[in-house]
A = this chain, B = another copy of it.
């Protein structure tokens, strides 16, 4: 990960530092959602966090590093859910529960930030690498889970059919303040159900 090594958080967190880092990430999320990733400056971020710019730079040396921190936090939160899946006997039930919760509970702000980062990824290689890495992890995890639930199913083909639908749900969530995720989530789970039931014709 050479592209991301340069933008990793600068200091090893103690618990007070970890709390301060989390505080900065919350402030960043609020700024990015309100004004967009590109429009937000490190100064805006310091103001939102009620910290001096110099203090912010002790934790993150660029806006890209802040976004990487947000992505890392998302990944840790996801890992907690995945652990529940690994422990549970009912992999299918937990998979469906995780996907339904993810798309039903996603805030409009989180969806707007994602949309912003996709747009940014087309021009900013550090963000592009981060998005690719997150996508690749999600892809690997879903394909492995499909294969574990239904050995012999076309797990990669099923993922390919779902991927644009999942991205489109996030776009709809971002664009519509009154978005109702129920129908799209039901469609997503029905597609997975059908895909898992269909064994590969080999």
- Contact check, B183 vs A123: say whether CB atoms are below 8 A apart: no
Residues of B within 8 A of A183 (CB): 160-161
- Cα of A163 to Cα of B175 in the assembled complex, Å: 13
- Contact check, A122 vs B175: say whether CB atoms are below 8 A apart: yes
The binding surface of chain A is classed by DSSP as helix
Judged by a CB distance under 8 angstroms, whether A7 is at the interface is no
With an 8 Å Cβ cutoff, the count of chain A residues facing the other chain is: 30
A111 to chain B, nearest CB (A): 9
- Cα of A166 to Cα of B167 in the assembled complex, Å: 10
A125 to chain B, nearest CB (A): 12
**A 141-200 contacts with B by CB, 8 A:** 160-161, 163-169, 171-172, 174-175, 183-184, 187
- Contact check, A122 vs B118: say whether CB atoms are below 8 A apart: no
Partner of A122, one of B115, B161, B168, B187: B115
Residues of A within 8 A of B (CB): 35-36, 38-39, 112, 115-116, 118-119, 121-123, 128, 131, 160-161, 163-169, 171-172, 174-175, 183-184, 187
